[in-house]
A and B are shown apart, each in its own frame.
Chain A
Amino acid sequence: MSVLIIFWAVVGAQVLLACAMVIGAYRMLFGPKAQDRVLGLDNLYLNATMLLLTFGIRYSSTHYFEAALVIAMLGFVATAALAKVLMRGEVIE
């Protein structure tokens, strides 16, 4: 019973997160301006972090946690660097 509850809740959450990732990818691909694309990428990596955490719950595995942490860190660096590119036109001055 409890296994079924967790399984279907996690599957539903993964469907919702996949929809959110599709929306983020749409913003990233068809954003009207460059800043909209960066915002879409930011939302995409955030939802990818959450999706990996739900995969960890689904398979009772500890390996997904490190991947989620790495994605969170890389997304932070990517968004900061892209914002700097939009501001200055270059990353390292």
Chain B
Amino acid sequence: MSGQLINQIFLQVMTGLQLGAIYVLIALGLTLIFGTLGVVNFAHGALYMLGAYLAVNIANSIGFGWAIVVVPFVLFAFGIAMERGLIRFFYNRPHTDQILVTFGLAIVIQEVLKWIFGANNLPFSMPSWGSGIVRMHEWVPFLEGFVAYPKWRLILIAVSFATVFGVFALLQFTRFGLIIRAGMRDPDMMKFLGVNISRRFTIVFGLGALIAGIAGIFGGPVTQVDPEVGMHMLVPSFLVVVIGGMGSIPGAVLAGFLLGMALSFTAEYAAIQQIIIYLVAVVVLLVRPRGLFGQKGLME
């Protein structure tokens, strides 16, 4: 392989990872919430947006470092409040009602943000420790010549991987995670065993919101912060969850990064680029409705 070609593929892979990173984080939260509570949260994009707006305001006033500390907690609390205050009344209602109420919430959040901050985007610049380029050719052995990549986007990829790993570790290696995994399989059994599964699930909802908040902090400077960004990120994220398999975490992660790769490698073919995700989603849903890693029979 020529050095040029390796460079090119490397760059496109990096861009693919970085594009997928945000979708992975949002899809992760969506699939966690669906896998545990069975709720399709149409307001999840709005949670991402809330995270981004909070982050930009904190960063511009007291500093970016504070944003990283504060936003996840605020979003976690908001998620819990949302579940306890609104969503839990809808468990016994038809699925369409759940979709409707979260859709309504998404619109309300969007409009409130528009009201407070205006319809234009808030400039969100990277902190000084995160800006600039990384001379990739100094780190990666097989690259030739001058290959640079923006530092912030590398940070985004790292954060995404770290979060995924964190969630995985939580689920695999902790008692809490064990209960959650069991509850995803059979929530009624857990109740019979005397485990307060609904309290655990509330925490999962908060966790999903927290992850969306993290995505907002690190993705905000990349996607820009405006009232439309919530819905803009939600539709592809939904499709990522569907392609990966509803309720499957490895599925969401894999599908998210695959989407990023698809977008990156088709960048030059504008026509296909725009519709590729929809085509893939439709094909997957028709051929293998449970998605890549979904459980058979669940939501078919």
Same complex:
no
